[in-house]
Structures are given as C-alpha cells and as structure tokens.
Homo-oligomer: A and B are copies of this chain.
C-alpha cells in the first residue's frame, strides 16, 4: 500500500447527545463521506457544552489526527459556546467576522426577521479562521488550522461538508466487500481467523445479525487494494460453501 494514510477525529459536542435526548447521526455520515475520500476516522468523542472540556479534547485530537471535524454548538443561544472554546483552544481572539456579518445581514433583510445581538453571535469567528458556507441556514461554520467547525443539525452539517470537501487532501481510499452467510459467526470464526492471518493488509470484520428468529453473519473485508480484496473475497466465499451455506454478496455497502 503505497498511498499514504490520512486520519481524522470527530468531535460531537452537545449535552443533548449525552442525555440521550438526541441520537447522533452525524458520525456515520462523516465516516462514510470521509472514507470515500480516503480519510479514515480513527476516533470519535461525544462531549458536553463545557468550555474546558472542548478545549482539552480539541487540543488533544488536533495534535493526533490530520483533520478534526466538530459538530454542534454554533447557534445563537447561551449554550452555543463552541466558537469561543475553539478560539480558546487555539489561543486566538474571536470577533464578528465581516463576511459572516454581511451574509447574515442580507439573510435577515430577506426574511424580515430581526438581526439581533443573539443572531449576531453566529458571526463570531476566531481570528485567522476561514468561513465554511452553509447553504441551508446561512450562518457559516469555519476552518481554523486542521479543524473544521460545523453545525449539529444534520442537514446543515451535510451542506457544510459539501463545501469542505474541496479543502481536504484524501489518501488511499478504503474499499470494502460484504458477504452475508446464514450461519452463526461462531461456526466460521476459526477459519475466518486463519483467513485474516493470510491477509494482513485486509481487515476482516464479523457482524452477527438477528432478524426476528433468523440470524446470520455479515463478513466485511476492508482494504485499499482491490485485487487483494477480490482474492480474499473469493476465498471467503469458498470457505462459506464448505459449511454447506451459499454466501450472499451484499452490495453496495
């Protein structure tokens, strides 16, 4: 594998994720989106809207990964403290950004809603950051260093990622093959371990499923070399057939 590995950390910010009120759907979206660009998410963290927690976690993650993507906490209310915390983490000031102010002024003029102090908070951007456009609700995210700060509302976050994509440098693209087998994973586990040992450059995952009274196993092969994946997939299908089970290629996954 000659192409380099590019890594990312995801930081999901918001009390509502830790109370169970909101179930996150941003991590899986980001993981897939980035994976298709050859950027591997290596860790995600879910933390509350607490300044010192955001600062410490962000500083640790931005040192460890090529990119960090945050979601949540950039709206107009008192609990939206992410922009200030990111400024603290980078040790820079924060102020109303002229371009963000212009965007929001035009937006509120169009809608007729008042552009009040709270809404002006959404134009507060750390010094040195560049804006990330938001095609859904206008208030921008921002990039500072290797950190991309985005909204928590999935539709808005997804619109921001469309704008962010052009700024990212991808690496070796991770490819995958999924094969389903109507058998318990415990039945195939030993031979699967042997297959994994023969293909150290491929990661083989085994995921049992239960659908009512039916159970089975999805086997996922992941790697960056498509020829190697084809060879491992062919061996895996032969292996499943030795148990008298017909493998099912699950695609796309």
Interface residues of A (CB under 8 A from B): 10, 15-25, 27-33, 35, 40-49, 53, 75-80, 113-114, 116-119, 121-122, 136-137, 153, 155, 174, 176, 184-187, 189-190, 192-193, 196, 203-208, 210, 220, 222, 253
How far apart are A151's CB and chain B's nearest CB, in angstroms?
9
Residues of B near A29 (CB, < 8 A) are: 20
A240 to chain B, nearest CB (A): 14
Quick one: which of B22, B45, B206 contacts A79, CB cutoff 8 A? B206
Q: Is the interface of A mostly helix, strand, loop or mixed?
A: mixed
A174: B residues at CB distance < 8 A: 19
> How many chain copies does the complex carry?
2
Cβ-defined contact, A77 with B220, below 8 A: no
Is the CB–CB distance between A185 and B76 below 8 Å?
Answer: yes
- B118 near A186 (CB under 8 angstroms)? yes
Q: Is the CB of B16 within 8 A of A220?
A: yes
Give A35 Cβ to nearest chain B Cβ, in Å: 6
Q: Which residue of B lies closest to A48 (CB)?
A: B42
Which residue of B24, B32, B80, B114 contacts A24 across the interface (Cβ within 8 Å)? Answer: B24
**Contacts A18-B41, A21-B253, A22-B207; A185 near B31 (Cβ below 8 A):** no
Which residues of chain B are near A118, meaning CB under 8 Å? Answer: 186-187, 189-190, 193
Instruction: Assess the A15–B75 pair: CB atoms within 8 A.
Output: no
* A16 CB contacts on chain B under 8 angstroms: 205, 207, 220
Instruction: Determine the residue in chain B with the shortest Cβ distance to A192.
Output: B77
**Given A19-B222, A77-B193, A187-B116: A46 in contact with B45 (beta carbons within 8 A):** yes
In the bound complex, do residue B43 and residue A43 qualify as a contact, i.e. CB atoms below 8 Å apart? no
- A70 CB to closest chain B CB (Å) equals 14
**Shortest distance in angstroms between A86's beta carbon and chain B's nearest beta carbon?**
18
Report the minimal beta-carbon distance from A11 to chain B, rounded to whole angstroms.
Answer: 11
Interface centre among A17, A32, A184, A189, by most chain B C-beta atoms within 10 angstroms, is A189
Chain B residues, Cβ within 8 Å of A47: 43
17 further contact pairs, Cβ within 8 A, besides A20-B28, A42-B48, A43-B53:
A18-B42, A19-B35, A20-B27, A21-B176, A23-B27, A23-B28, A46-B46, A76-B189, A79-B196, A79-B203, A79-B204, A113-B187, A116-B189, A118-B186, A118-B189, A118-B193, A119-B189
- Closest chain-B Cβ to A67's Cβ sits at a distance in Å of 14
